[in-house]
Each structure stands twice: as structure tokens, then as C-alpha cells.
Amino acid sequence: MPLPGPRGPERCLDALRSLGGRPHGVVLFPDASRDAGGYEHQVAAWGREHGVAVLGPQSNGLVSLAGRLHGLLIPVVEDLRAGGVALLAQSGGVLGGLVKYLAQRRVGLHSALEYGTGCMLTMEGLAGWLLALPEVRTLGIYADGVERLDRLADVVSGARAAGRAVVLMAGGLSESGHRAAASHSGAAATPGRVLEGLCEQHGAVLARSLDELAWSLEVLAERVPWAPAGASEVAVFSDSGGAGITLADALELHGVPVPEGQGANPFDFGSASMGESASQADAIRAVAGDGRYGVFAFASPIGLPRREQSVHQRQLDDFVAAVRATGRLPFVASLFPFDRLGAAEAGAPPHGLGSTESAVKIRALRTWAGGGTPAASWPAAAEVPAPAARPGEVLSGERAVSLLCGLPLGWPRQAAIASAADLDRLDGFSYPVVARTEAGLAHRAREGGVLVGIAGPRDLRNAVVYLLERFGGPVSVAEQVAHDEEWFVGAARRDGLTLVMLGRGGGQAESASVRVAPLSDRQRHRLVADTVGDEAFVGLLEALERWLVGAPWAGAVDLNPVVRAGDRLLALDAKVHVR
């Protein structure tokens, strides 16, 4: 029952209350009151009391194929097909457009609901309900904004655990409010980056445009799950060197790496390969022997196969059959947006029309296959005694090392200096050394509180006197460690979530990849492989998660930089933020 507005809902309240008993149905209305505690809250209260769902305010309807209900106020004239895709949108226009697109592409729909501003039924609640239905295989969500990332995290991780795909587009994820965060970890944990990491670790697709939202839903609609465990990388094939290079470039542009295996990637069959199905199949089996590859994409410069192009069609048919025989997923990438002739034939493989659509769809398949099953629970951990520190205090130097000494890390030799006189007792240090203020600054390097490359005792004395006079706190002196690459490992608690970060160190720390803890073992390995490429960091991340369980008083941890020194990792600097 729709409630017309703007004053219709107020007039209908008495009618709703007079129904008595336990009525059944759905109440939706497109208009919101302008006053706090307005009529939408009264309608929601009535709905909760009587067990009747209330969509809105600002809802333009719903579609339910199983219920034979087409209640969208948006004009959709296409014939709808029943299937496993469910849609949630905060915008009626976007919802209507998605329904039309999927109908035109002959993708089966389960349901479509506009939840509006959710006075009773929220996006997270509706998503959880839909994902619990066995008929729903893929869920598409468009949200103008995300109020609670922790609730969305429950939706995304729950979908992964149930083997369902999620494609999400969300706005309102500005990073400006986090630029002044007190720690590198806090500055890295912007809403957009948290959402990006959350989707990446659970295999949910984060769309950046409505095109990406629609294309990703289309390609995932009937193909979840499909990939062998760990097979998420993309192998590009073509009978044209230029076509393979073009698709590889398009994939890289959309954040999809094209890693080399035993041979080159893209794999060029050569222009004389048409009709040579046996040699083509041998090449495909050889690539499939590398367990990393899950999507086998054929770059076709002349479009999708058609009966009029018999040799071309036979080659692609042979390619698809050979890939399917290995248990991998074939994909046909038309490099030009030709017409769709041949696309809807029975048994046709997933495909893209144009290099952009193809790259977006392949990215969606790779993202889904790369997600890991969520961790079942937080790991057990020993208690880390709370330090004698005030809320908001930043602990560094020897205090931070003493708290973090249980992590699988080495630490350079260092000493605490409270006054210039302490330098007389400093011996046995190898130069050059690093001097840092320990005055509790969150970003001391930016403020000139870190001096490196100190070559001898005289320079060290000058450096220590300068730091003591300028910042007023103690100073630490540590041996400078020669190294190549610097990495950042961090953690932060924010908005009900515990976050871990990994990425480039030094001044690039705030661009680190973000994940929501606890991570499964596969998720840790994937994060390390995508960022650092050093397996030692897998154990460090796991140990840091355990440490966080035992230290609920800690608001953030910065290990920056962490370097490789022989057979171990060294943390050259560390800070612990007390909450």
C-alpha cells in the first residue's frame, strides 16, 4: 500500500491503526516529513507493532518476481525474467535503471527494493534478509552514503561466508575528515579506503560508476561460485599481438594486474592459429597448470563469434571448450563495442562489448575469486598490561618497544637521553645514528623531530641539544640500519571496527591498504602478496591481531618503517596510541 504525500501519510495513520489484528503487506511512501519525529516514525512504529514492512520514506517501490509484484513507480516496460539477482537502492531512478538494464541483458531478477532513508527497514537489514534466501545468489547495492561501516562489514563478510556475491556502489565517503588524524594508521583509515579494503578482502566488488555496477552485476549473476581456491589471476589470450596488449593495458587501467607465469602474458596464439584447436588447447592446459590463473580471457578485435564468421566462431568455441575442460572460466573480450549478435546464445561464455566493459567485468570476476572466507573468530591472546598513560597519549621509543616486544620483529639498539649529560654515558654505538624526540608527537618526522645520518659524537651532541630545547621531551638515539625498501604496518580502532594496514613506509604510510580484522589466513596471504610480497609479513600481521586482542586500551599502532635485515624484519620506529 503506497502512502501518497506530502500529507497523505498523516491522513492514513488512522486508517492503518483501524486495521486491527495482524495485517499483512508492505507499506511504502515517497515523501518524508520535514519535522524531527515526524509521521514516518509513527508509521514505522505501527509496522513494528503489526509485523508489516515499511519501506521509506523516499521509496518509490519494489519488484518481487516470486510474488508476481511489479510495484515500481519508475516506468519499466521490459519483460522481467526470474533469477538470482536482488537489488537494493537508495535512489528510485538508479533502481529503475538497473532493472531495465538487467532485463535488456536477459539477466534473471529475484527482487528490487528502494529503501529510501530507512525509517524501519535499513539497507543492512534488508541485505541480510535477502542474502539468507537460497534463491538470491548476487546482491547489488546502491547507497547515497554509508552511515555504519561496521554494519556493512557484517553484510559483506556474511555474504562471503554464504557464498554470495555483492556488488556495491556508495557515495559520501569523503577523506577530508581524516586528514588530520593523529596517527599514520588513523590517517590511512579513511571511510573510502576502509570500504575498499573491506570489499577486497571478502571478494565484494566496489563499483565506481553506474556502468561498473551494472556490468559487474551482469557478469556475476550466474557465476558464483566458480573458481578453484586461489585461482583469481587473469590470463589474456589472443591471435593478435596488438589485441592482447590492448586488453592487458585496459585491465591495468582498471586495477587488474596481468602477471606473467611460465611464459609471457598476454599469450599470443599467432595469426595462423585458426583451425589449430589441438595446439591452442595444449597452450591453455599449460597455463592452467599454474594454479594462480582463474579467468582466461580471449581478446577479440572482431567482436563476438557469429555464424557468418565460421572460422572465428570455431576458434572461440574451441577456446571456450578447452578452458572449461581445465575448470577455469573463459571470457570473450570484444575490443570494440560491436552489436550483441551472438551474445545471447545458449551456453555463451561471459563477454564484454568494448575494452572498458570487458576490463570491468574481468575485474569483478577476479575480485570475487580473490576474496577469502572470513575468519571464524578472533584469535586467543594473552593480556597486554595497560601502560601508565593518559588517554590520547602517544608512546614511542623504549616505552613502545617494551609494549610490542612480543611481535616477531627485531629492533635496532637504542638508548633514552633525558639530558645532554646522558650522552657521556653513551658508548658502544656504531655510527651513523638516528636521534628522535620522544615528546609524544603524533607526526614527529613532519615537525622536524627526527634527525638521521648523524655521523659522530659531536654531531650527535648538537642534535640532542637541539631536540631537547625545541620539543622539551626526552630523546632516543638508535643505530641507523642500512636498508632498501621501507614498509608500514599499522592498526587502528574506528567506528566499531578494528583495522590493520600494510603498505609502503616512510612518507607513503597513509596510502597503505586497509583490511578489517580479524583476517583469515588466506586474506593475510593475499594482502601480503598484493602489497609487500614478503611472507614474513603474514606472521607479523597475525601476531599484531593477537596483540590487539590482548590490548583493548590501544587505539592505534604505527610500525614505520619496517625493513628487511638479513633473515628477519626490523622495526626502525614504533608508536602506540592510548585511547
pLDDT at 53: 78
Its pTM stands at 0.84
Quickly count helices (H) and strands (E) in the chain: 16, 25
Helix or strand holding residue 28 (H, E):
strand 26-28
DSSP annotation of 224: S
Give the pairing type, strands 475-479 and 414-417.
antiparallel
All three cell numbers of 140: 547489488
Could you write out the DSSP letters of every residue in 476-499?
EEEEPPP-S--EEEEEEEETTEEE
pLDDT at 377: 85
Could you write out the DSSP letters of every residue in 518-569?
SPPHHHHHHHHHHHT--THHHHHHHHHHHHHHH-TTEEEEEEEEEEEETTEE
Rounded Cα gap, residues 31 and 123, in angstroms = 18
Cβ atoms of residues 562 and 485 within 8 Å: no
What would the mean pLDDT of 498-512 be, rounded to a whole number?
91
Q: Is the pLDDT of residue 504 over 80?
A: yes
Count how many Cα atoms sit within 13 Å of the Cα of residue 129 in the half-sphere of its side chain.
12
Q: Is the pLDDT of residue 10 over 70?
A: no
The model's confidence at residue 477, banded by pLDDT at 50, 70 and 90, is: very high
Question: In sequence order, what are the residues at sequence separation of 6 or more whose Cβ sits closer than 8 angstroms to the Cβ of residue 183?
Answer: 394, 442, 490, 492, 555, 556, 558, 575, 577
**Cell 519508475, located at residue:** 74
Task: Give the homologous superfamily in CATH for domain 413-479.
Answer: ATP-grasp fold, A domain (3.30.1490.20)
- Of 216 and 300, which is predicted with more confidence? 216
Q: Which residues pair with 139 in a beta bridge?
A: 86, 166
The model's confidence at residue 207, banded by pLDDT at 50, 70 and 90, is: very high
Ordered by start, the domain boundaries in the chain are 58-220, 233-370, 413-479
Q: Is the pLDDT of residue 23 over 60?
A: no
One CATH from 3.40.1190.20, 3.40.50.261, 3.50.50.60, 3.40.50.2000 for 58-220: 3.40.50.261
Mean pLDDT of the chain: 85
Q: What percent of the chain has pLDDT over 70?
A: 85
Closest CA to 266 of 235, 306, 290: 235
Kindly report the CATH class assigned to 233-370.
Answer: alpha beta
Closest CA to 201 of 406, 565, 500, 507: 500
Helices (H), 36-176: 39-50, 92-104, 123-131, 149-161
Torsion angle defined by CA atoms of residues 424, 427, 430 and 433, in that order, rounded to the nearest 10 degrees: -40
Q: Is the pLDDT of residue 499 over 90?
A: yes
Rounded Cα gap, residues 575 and 578, in angstroms = 10
Rounded Cα gap, residues 367 and 256, in angstroms = 9
The model's confidence at residue 178, banded by pLDDT at 50, 70 and 90, is: very low
- Of 313 and 545, which is predicted with more confidence? 545
All three cell numbers of 127: 541485505
Rounded Cα gap, residues 51 and 452, in angstroms = 67
Radius of gyration of the chain, Cα coordinates, nearest whole angstrom: 29
* Count of beta carbons in the 10 Å neighbourhood of residue 389: 16
**Cell 551456453, located at residue:** 347
The model's confidence at residue 112, banded by pLDDT at 50, 70 and 90, is: very high
- When mean pLDDT is compared across 286-295, 362-371, 438-447, the lowest value belongs to 438-447
pLDDT at 179: 45
pLDDT at 177: 44
Q: What three-state secondary structure class fits 331?
A: strand
* Helical axes 8-17 vs 39-50, angle rounded to 10°: 30
- CA-based diameter of the chain, in Å? 90
Q: Which long-range contacts (CB under 8 A, 24 or more apart) does 102-105 make?
A: 102/214, 102/217, 102/218, 102/221, 103/76, 103/78, 103/79, 104/78, 105/218
pLDDT at 486: 94
The model's confidence at residue 56, banded by pLDDT at 50, 70 and 90, is: confident
What would the mean pLDDT of 298-305 be, rounded to a whole number?
83
What would the mean pLDDT of 532-561 be, rounded to a whole number?
95
Judge if 58-220 and 413-479 fold alike in CATH terms.
Answer: no
Q: Is the pLDDT of residue 554 over 60?
A: yes
Helices (H), 27-91: 39-50
DSSP annotation of 4: -
The model's confidence at residue 52, banded by pLDDT at 50, 70 and 90, is: confident
* pLDDT (tens digit per residue) in 248-293: 999 999 999 898 866 679 988 876 566 677 888 998 999 998 888 9
* pLDDT (tens digit per residue) in 366-406: 999 888 778 878 888 899 999 999 999 999 888 999 999 99
Closest CA to 520 of 502, 501, 497, 545: 545
